[in-house]
Structure 1
Amino acid sequence: MKNINKNRLFIASCLALITTAMTFAIRARLETVFGPEGIGLTLEQIGYAFAPAFFGFTIAMIIGGPLVDLLGIKKITWMAFLTHAVGIVLTLLADSMTSLFIATLFIGIGNGFVEAALNPMVASMYPEQKTKMLNRFHVWFPGGIVIGAILGWLIMDVLGLSWQVMVGALFIPLVIYGVLFFGQKIPVTERVQLGISNQKMFSSVLKPLFLFMVACMFLTAASELGTTQRIESLLKESVAKPLLVLAFINGIMALGRLFAGQVVHKLSPSGMLLYSAIFTFIGLWLLTVTSGGMTFVAAAVFAVGVTFFWPTMLGFVAEYLPETGALGLSIMGGAGMFSVSIVLPVMGNLMDNASAAEALRTMSILPAILIVAFFGLHMYMKKRQKTFEV
Structure 2
Amino acid sequence: MDQQSTVPANARAIFWICVLLLFTAALSFSIRTGVSGAIKEALLDPYMPLSSGEMIAASLGYAFLGFALSLLVISPLLDVLGAKKTVIFSSLCFIVGPLLIILSPALGSGDGATTYLILNLGMVGCGLAWGTMEATVNPVTAAIYPEDKTGRLNILHAWWPAGIIVGGLSSVFLYETDAVSWQFMVGMIMVPAVVCGAWALTQEFPVTESTAQGVSFGEMMLAPFRRPGFWIFPAIMFLTTSAELAPGSWVDVALTETVGMPGILVLVYVSAIMFVMRHFAGPLERRFSDIGMLLMCTIPAAIGLYLLSIANSPATALVAATAWAFGVCFMWPTMLAAANRRYPETGAWGIGLVGFAGALAMYFVLPQIGAIYDRAKLEAAGGEAAFAALQQGGPELHEALAYAAEQSFKAIAVVPVILFVIFGALWAFERSRRNRA
TM-score by length of 1: 0.93
In our comparison, the structure showing a higher alpha carbon Rg is: 2
Matched with 2:206 is: 187
C-alpha RMSD over aligned residues:
2.1
Distance 1:346 1:135, change over 3 A: same
Cα distance in structure 2, aligned partners of 1:151 and 1:137: 22
Cα distance in structure 1, aligned partners of 2:119 and 2:302: 32
2:370 aligned with 1:348, yes or no? yes
Contact 1:44 1:348 in 2 (8 A): no
Cα distance in structure 1, aligned partners of 2:100 and 2:373: 28
Contact 2:87 2:197 in 1 (8 A): no
2:46 aligned with 1:26, yes or no? no
Question: What do residues 178-215 of structure 1 show as CA deviations (whole Å, max 9, x unaligned)?
Answer: 12211211111111110013343233212232111101
Question: What do residues 344-382 of structure 1 show as CA deviations (whole Å, max 9, x unaligned)?
Answer: 222333333422222212222222221111111111221
Cα distance in structure 1, aligned partners of 2:91 and 2:365: 27
1:236 alignment partner, one of 237, 253, 256: 256
Helix, strand or coil: the match of 1:205? helix
Question: What do residues 261-304 of structure 1 show as CA deviations (whole Å, max 9, x unaligned)?
Answer: 22112211001111222221111111010122210110111111
Cα distance in structure 2, aligned partners of 1:376 and 1:2: 35
Matched with 2:142 is: 123
Distance 1:242 1:222, change over 3 A: same
Matched with 1:219 is: 239
Cα distance in structure 2, aligned partners of 1:120 and 1:283: 31
* Pairing 1:27-106 to 2, within 5 Å after superposition: 27-34=32-39, 39=45, 45-93=55-103, 98-106=117-125
Cα distance in structure 2, aligned partners of 1:4 and 1:94: 44
Cα distance in structure 1, aligned partners of 2:104 and 2:359: 23
Distance 1:45 1:377, change over 3 A: farther
Question: What do residues 97-116 of structure 1 show as CA deviations (whole Å, max 9, x unaligned)?
Answer: 65543322211110110111
Contact 2:7 2:143 in 1 (8 A): no
Distance 1:223 1:3, change over 3 A: closer
Helix, strand or coil: the match of 1:132? helix
* Pairing 1:112-151 to 2, within 5 Å after superposition: 112-151=131-170
* Pairing 1:316-327 to 2, within 5 Å after superposition: 316-327=338-349
Cα distance in structure 1, aligned partners of 2:26 and 2:117: 23
Cα distance in structure 2, aligned partners of 1:99 and 1:326: 32
Contact 2:234 2:354 in 1 (8 A): yes
Matched with 2:17 is: 12
Give 1:148 deviation, angstroms: 1.1
Helix, strand or coil: the match of 1:185? coil
Give 1:43 deviation, angstroms: 5.7
Matched with 2:387 is: none
Question: What do residues 315-334 of structure 1 show as CA deviations (whole Å, max 9, x unaligned)?
Answer: 10121111110000011111
Distance 1:111 1:74, change over 3 A: same
Matched with 1:306 is: 328
Cα distance in structure 2, aligned partners of 1:127 and 1:325: 12
Matched with 1:262 is: 283
In the alignment, residue 346 of structure 1 is paired with which amino acid?
Answer: Q
Contact 1:273 1:374 in 2 (8 A): yes
Range with greater deviation from structure 2 (262-271 or 191-200): 191-200
Contact 1:43 1:352 in 2 (8 A): no
Distance 1:34 1:357, change over 3 A: farther
Structure 2 alignment gaps of length 5 or more? 1-5, 106-114, 377-403
2:306 alignment partner, one of 285, 304, 310: 285
Structure 1 alignment gaps of length 5 or more? none
Cα distance in structure 2, aligned partners of 1:385 and 1:296: 41
Distance 1:381 1:94, change over 3 A: farther
Matched with 1:363 is: 412
Distance 1:302 1:101, change over 3 A: farther
Instruction: Indicate the percent of aligned positions where both proteins have the same amino acid.
Output: 34
The higher relative CO (CA closer than 8 Å, separation ≥ 6) is in: 1
In the alignment, residue 385 of structure 1 is paired with which amino acid?
Answer: R
In the alignment, residue 316 of structure 1 is paired with which amino acid?
Answer: A
1:372 alignment partner, one of 421, 425, 433: 421
In the alignment, residue 80 of structure 2 is paired with which amino acid?
Answer: L
Range with greater deviation from structure 2 (33-42 or 45-54): 33-42
